[in-house]
Amino acid sequence: MTSLSASLPTSVDTACPDGGAICTWVYDISGGSDRLAQFSEWFLDRPIRFLAVILGAWLLSKLLRRSIRKIVTHIVTADRSSTFQRLDRLGVPITGLIEPEEDPIVAERRHARALSISNVLGSAVSVAVWSIGFTTALGTVGINLGPLIAGAGIAGVALGFGAQSLVQDCIAGLFMLLEDQYGIGDVIDLGEAVGVVEEVTLRTTVLRSLNGTVWHVPNGQVSRVGNLSQLWSVAVIDIDVAYDSDLAEVRSILNEAVAEVCAREEFTESVLEPPTVLGVESLGADGITLRVTIKVDPGDQWAIQRAVREHVKVVFDRHHIEIPFPQRTVWVRNEGESV
């Protein structure tokens, strides 16, 4: 009896090499049947452990994605007025601007930004969790993970060397989303490409230029970004007058003309501050340049600039104020004549 009990653990270890609870239980109730124990090991114990690891990875992935979404949304929402606070510290006037929390367009953009960031971070976390979970699950069914991990490491190194630009694009896109450099609908200047942003992904930015050209710009190749439609814009209009013009009278007439355009129904809500005639901007070869600035809603500066130029031309013609144009004296010499 003593020798039998001493040999029992060896038989159990042989029949159930993984030490599974179900396999050991089947071995015990079957009176030491190796065949039944091994059958339960392969078709009950190992599948259950495999499914348990997969289920745990799924639950952990869901939990982490939900947590990331809540954290990112909280951070982005709490940072709604940070831009206005920085501008106020710098001494930039923000009178007349709509606070981001009161602007539904800005709120929608903020929500889309939080969703994009949370999706990117959640996808990265899910890939990591599922990779570890699947590898662990394979180990529970008795698969040797050494060659698999070694092969994956070599493939990862090769992929890393071959996809450096892709990794650079993704990292740059992630920081672009985190810093809210631009969003869909913004007019941006990326160097050679200037236009309206139509799509923003982790790898590329798609924008359409004024002539309809669609630009696909990898985020890693963007060295600088000029956002022409964030918070507010400034319409800058340069008007040339002749040198013999009365500048005081011209400034008064110009101020009235610009104010009339700003008072139009289509521009009333767009203008954030009264227009300002800055004065003489330059003394050119053909005339004197006066500059006018108008602070408007983002993206409305081009329409009001065109309307101001058109109305100023009509008003100047009414007051007989000359808008100069280049004048040249041309000397024509016939053949055989001397000048």
- Kindly give, in sequence order, each residue whose CB lies less than 8 Å from that of residue 122, ignoring residues fewer than 6 positions away: 64, 65, 68, 69
Q: Which residue has the tokens 């808008």?
A: 323
Going by C-alpha positions, the residue among 234, 274, 283, 281 that lies closest to residue 256 is 274
**Cα(294)–Cα(194) distance, rounded to whole angstroms?**
22
The DSSP call for residue 243 is T
Task: List the domains of the chain with CATH numbers.
Answer: 53-162 (no CATH), 181-227 (2.30.30.60), 233-318 (3.30.70.100)
Distance spanning both ends of the chain, measured CA to CA: 137
Backbone phi and psi for residue 247, each to the nearest 5 degrees, phi listed first: -65, -35
What DSSP string runs through 104-162?
Answer: HHHHHHHHHHHHHHHHHHHHHHHHHHHHHHHHHHHHHTT--HHHHHHHHHHHHHHHHHH
Going by C-alpha positions, the residue among 174, 178, 204 that lies closest to residue 190 is 204
- The token pair that represents 162 in the structure block: 């071959």
**Cα(201)–Cα(294) distance, rounded to whole angstroms?**
34
Per residue of the chain (339 residues), give pLDDT as tens: 344 444 444 455 555 655 556 666 666 666 666 666 665 666 666 777 788 888 988 999 999 988 988 888 777 765 555 555 666 666 655 555 544 444 565 666 677 677 777 777 887 788 889 888 888 887 777 677 677 777 777 777 766 666 677 778 878 887 887 777 887 778 888 888 888 888 887 788 889 988 888 999 988 888 888 888 777 889 999 999 999 889 999 999 999 999 999 999 888 888 988 999 998 998 988 889 999 999 998 888 899 999 999 999 999 999 988 888 776 677 777 765 554
Q: At what angle do helices 164-179 and 145-162 cross, to 10 degrees?
A: 80
**Cα(130)–Cα(9) distance, rounded to whole angstroms?**
36
